[in-house]
Amino acid sequence: MVEVHVLRVFTDEDGAFGNLLAVLLDAADWEADERQELATRLGYSETVFVDDVPTARLQIFTPACELAFAGHPLVGVSALLARTTGHPPRELRPVRLAEPVLTRTDPDGTTWVRGAVADAPPWIHEHLGSAAEVEGLVPPPMEGQSPVDEEKRWRRTQTWAWQDEAAGEVRARVFAADFGVLEDEACGSASLLLSARTGRELTIHHGRGSVVKARPVGEDHAEIGGHVAHDGVRHVDRIPRP
């Protein structure tokens, strides 16, 4: 049995909602195929394997594939490392990136990560006319790893609309069948790209009730931040390799 920390990332101000995340600490002896199998079995949007806690070296897997960079896993693992070590990390080291990802925690408990626009997955952004249109979208059922309907919207798209444009308030949902997830409750990397592409500091009301903060930094980076709740530890079987 192995310990899996379960987090909710980008909760609202009351600690509700948030996107589920699984994190394994001290996972250096896990092979790539084992990591993918467990991420698929758990079924969360992402599962993080921390190879080395002091240096925050890690890998990120969706139920369908590995990602070099993803927002809600990095915000979540930063908060978890601060909780477990007593020292908030200054940087995280996803193994597929050439440079570390900077991270910090504000006095109000908001955890931030800064990412390069070029490192984020290639999300499509679909700007709708109203928050009600975003809320009214109904994705088709999944069949295997793909929706029955092959429309691009459901494959890797953040649909969004202004909730209050003057205040930078956005209503958004993300559909991510290409990553093995029909709908992502709160997507950090898509929100990072949205902030960079609009050139605006944003508060994004995501999914059923999650809240993502995002703001551009220079021409080619942006930050995403939010609150993280720790929902305890699950004990799961490690399937023996043949």
Report the mean per-residue pLDDT for the chain: 95
Phi, psi of 237 (to 5 degrees): -75, 140
pLDDT digits (tens, 9 = 90+) for 29-83: 999 999 999 999 999 999 999 999 999 999 999 999 999 999 999 999 999 999 9
Helix, strand, or coil here: 74? Answer: helix
pLDDT given for residue 124 in this prediction: 96
**In terms of CATH architecture, what is 2-105+228-236?**
Roll (3.10)
| 150 pLDDT above the threshold of 90 | no
Q: Cα–Cα distances in Å, from 32 out to 60, 61, 69, 168, 177?
A: 11, 10, 16, 40, 21
Closest C-alpha to 11, from 217, 218, 214, 207: 207
Let me know if the fold of 2-105+228-236 is the same as that of 124-226: yes
Cβ atoms of 199 and 220 within 8 Å: the answer is no
CATH (one of 3.20.20.70, 3.10.310.10, 1.10.287.3510, 3.30.70.100) for 124-226: 3.10.310.10
Domain residue spans of the chain? 2-105+228-236, 124-226
The whole model's pTM is what? 0.95
Q: What is the pLDDT of residue 240?
A: 78
Residue 152's pLDDT is what?
A: 80
User: What's the whole-number mean pLDDT along residues 204-229?
Assistant: 97
